[in-house]
A and B are shown apart, each in its own frame.
Chain A
Amino acid sequence: MNDIKIKTVNLSKWYSKIIGLNSFQLDISSGITGLVGPNGSGKSTFFKLAIGALKPKTGQIIVLGQNPWMNQKLMSDIGFCPDYDSLSDETTGKEFLELVGGLHGLKGINLKNRIDETSEIVGMKEDLYRKIGGYSKGMRQRIKIAGSILHNPKLLLLDEPLSGADPNVRKSLINLIKSLKNDLGHDIVVSSHVLYEIERMTSKIALIYKGRAIASGEISDIRNLIDEHPHNIIIEGTKLEELAKKLLEKKYTISVGYQENRKKIKVQVSKPDEFFDNITEIITDLNCEVTQMYSLDDNLEAVFNYLVER
């Protein structure tokens, strides 16, 4: 129970007629947790509620055991990197970090040392004296992350830290985020609408859609949820017509369709475990020659699609 970093209970937030979060239920424990959902799903609203920038309409959010609304002291333990550009072009990276450090009560040699350390961690030491207006997208993301870790917070909230960055920068930011956990011990909540990227940072995810947390846990746990929902399998080989007929007799088969000039069939099943248990026997009985069989649902993207469409 003590491991819970963020807990929400029936948390709702809406802006006039637009729903940000709707009876949102989620427990986030230590480590790196990925929040995954399409744009507009409520990820940023969740972060804004977690940092006390927004007040819940109903329900409750507890961060590190405290209510964040009008609780500025809690911010000592939280580092936040927003998804939007929050930097002033006219200031230098150093001035920005001095402001953030000063606002966290750092001064003098301590502030200078922390600026040196964090700029080193994010690889921005050489560019600290340049105006932020001249920074690339990747550099802006890095300096924002530096600002969020400057005061050595217990919990880091990174909202879409990879958005807009080119592939090389994405890769290095992913490594940076992993090292923030592995080397510096920060607990991190990181959001993205790209599942592939989250998968590279953590195996622990929460899927958000239309203001609700539709699933959360280890990717393997979420994969089990797939089994409760239709599963698509592609089979390539000979005697596909007979195979299709046989499969349609099974209760777990929802539909069978041809693909690519009848060279393949796409089978949609409700219980993949039963399908995989039986398919070898069916193929043997029919004397089919199956050259390829694969599930369309083997990646995280498919998990997400299943869950958001139900």
Chain B
Amino acid sequence: MLDITDNLTKFFALIKYSTRKILFKKRIIIAFLILLTVISVLGYAGSQQTDKLTTGSDLLGLLIVWFFMPAICMIYGCSVIRDEIEDKSITHVITAPINRILAYSSYYVSLIICLSLINLIIFSLGFISFFGQKGIDSEAISIYTTFLGLVILGVFIYSALFLLTSVIFKRPIYFGLFFVFIWEGFIGTIPGNIQKISFNFYLRSIGSKQLEYITINGATNVITSLAIIFGSILILIILGSIFFKTKEFS
């Protein structure tokens, strides 16, 4: 019992510190710039004569769910542990009596707390910028909840992936750029089976079963998609924990 309490104290101490560090670093300016872009684009689109539901869902999907959300996850995910390795502040974590697997999990939890919050704010304000002008009815709310669910699910999977890369690679951002813009952004949208090796495909598949405005060829069912996504999250966290546990810090 004492061990559990002791480990929880260490776990939450690192979450508290890491969360504060992520949210109050200068990098948060990037999130503000993305927020401004989203509000501007969706605000302008909302002022035009367009079909509310089709245009609204297309813009929210293209701009946030399929582009900015993975990009933000990449920017933060690739840097959380890597920054601490580079500035050597990781020393205080690796010289503490906290199991490294637990420490890695703390970083992951901090990351998803911060990225969920950032993406929630960006998505919600983007939604209001568009639908606020067109009218928020039950269908608009349905679009909001579905896309928000995909955003949060995306945060979970992309955070797990980029956190792992930040432990493995010295320059994880290069992998991140390739993955977000080429793999997910391009290969993930190619028709045929090849798209099934992207997370984008499974997020779209889940979305397409909830909203008629999200279309995809050969979508898998929700259970399969969720199983693949959560299975991948688990594998990525386990891999990251193993790499972090056995990593040498010179």
Residues of A within 8 A of B (CB): 15, 48, 51-55, 70, 72-76, 78, 80, 82, 84-88, 90-91, 95-96, 98-107, 147
Contacts and interface: CB of A to CB of B under 8 A. Distances in A.
A103 B98 contact: yes
A102 B17 contact: yes
Contacts of B93: 103
B91 A72 contact: no
Contacts of A87: 89
25 contacts: A48-B250, A51-B94, A51-B95, A53-B91, A53-B94, A54-B249, A54-B250, A55-B248, A75-B97, A82-B91, A84-B88, A86-B87, A86-B89, A86-B92, A88-B21, A90-B24, A90-B25, A91-B17, A98-B13, A99-B14, A99-B92, A101-B13, A102-B10, A103-B13, A105-B9
Nearest to A49: B248
Which among B6, B21, B89, B99 has the greatest number of chain A C-beta atoms within 10 A? B89
B9 to A, nearest CB: 5
A275 to B, nearest CB: 47
A90 B88 contact: no
A99 B95 contact: no
Contacts of A98: 13, 17
Contacts of A73: 97
A106 to B, nearest CB: 8
B16 interface: yes
B65 to A, nearest CB: 31
Interchain residue pairs A-B with the least CB separation, the first 4: A102-B13, A103-B96, A76-B97, A75-B97
Contact of A80 (B25, B91, B99): B91
B246 interface: yes
A83 to B, nearest CB: 10
Nearest to B3: A105
A72 B99 contact: yes
B245 A80 contact: no
Given A75-B95, A103-B98, 18 more contacts: A48-B249, A53-B91, A72-B96, A72-B98, A75-B97, A78-B95, A82-B88, A82-B91, A86-B88, A88-B89, A95-B20, A96-B92, A98-B17, A99-B13, A99-B17, A102-B17, A103-B13, A105-B9
B100 interface: yes
Nearest to A157: B95
Contacts of B20: 91, 95
Interface string B1-29: 00000100110111011001100110000
B95 A80 contact: yes
A301 B137 CA distance: 82
Contacts of A74: 97
Nearest to A75: B97
A53 B90 CA distance: 10
Contacts of B99: 72
Contacts of A91: 17, 20-21
Nearest to A84: B88
Contacts of B14: 99, 102-103
Nearest to A91: B21
Contacts of A82: 88, 91
A53 B93 CA distance: 11
Interface in B75-113: 87-89, 91-100
Which among B16, B17, B99, B245 has the greatest number of chain A C-beta atoms within 10 A? B17
A102 B17 CA distance: 10
Given A90-B24, A105-B10, A70 B245 contact: yes
B148 to A, nearest CB: 30
A17 to B, nearest CB: 14
Contact of B6 (A54, A70, A105): A105
A15 B250 contact: yes
Given A88-B87, A95-B20, A103 B248 contact: no
Contact of B92 (A15, A78, A107, A147): A147
Given A72-B97, A95-B17, A103 B250 contact: no
B16 A102 contact: yes
Which among B14, B88, B96 has the greatest number of chain A C-beta atoms within 10 A? B96
B113 to A, nearest CB: 17
Which among B9, B14, B20, B249 has the greatest number of chain A C-beta atoms within 10 A? B9
Nearest to A96: B92
Nearest to B83: A88
Contact of A53 (B9, B12, B95, B98): B95
Contacts of B250: 15, 48, 53-54
Given A99-B92, A102-B12, A72 B17 contact: no
A70 B246 contact: yes
A73 B89 CA distance: 20
Contacts of B10: 102-105
A107 B9 contact: yes
B19 to A, nearest CB: 12
B24 A86 contact: no
Which among A48, A80, A101, A102 has the greatest number of chain B C-beta atoms within 10 A? A102
A132 B179 CA distance: 36
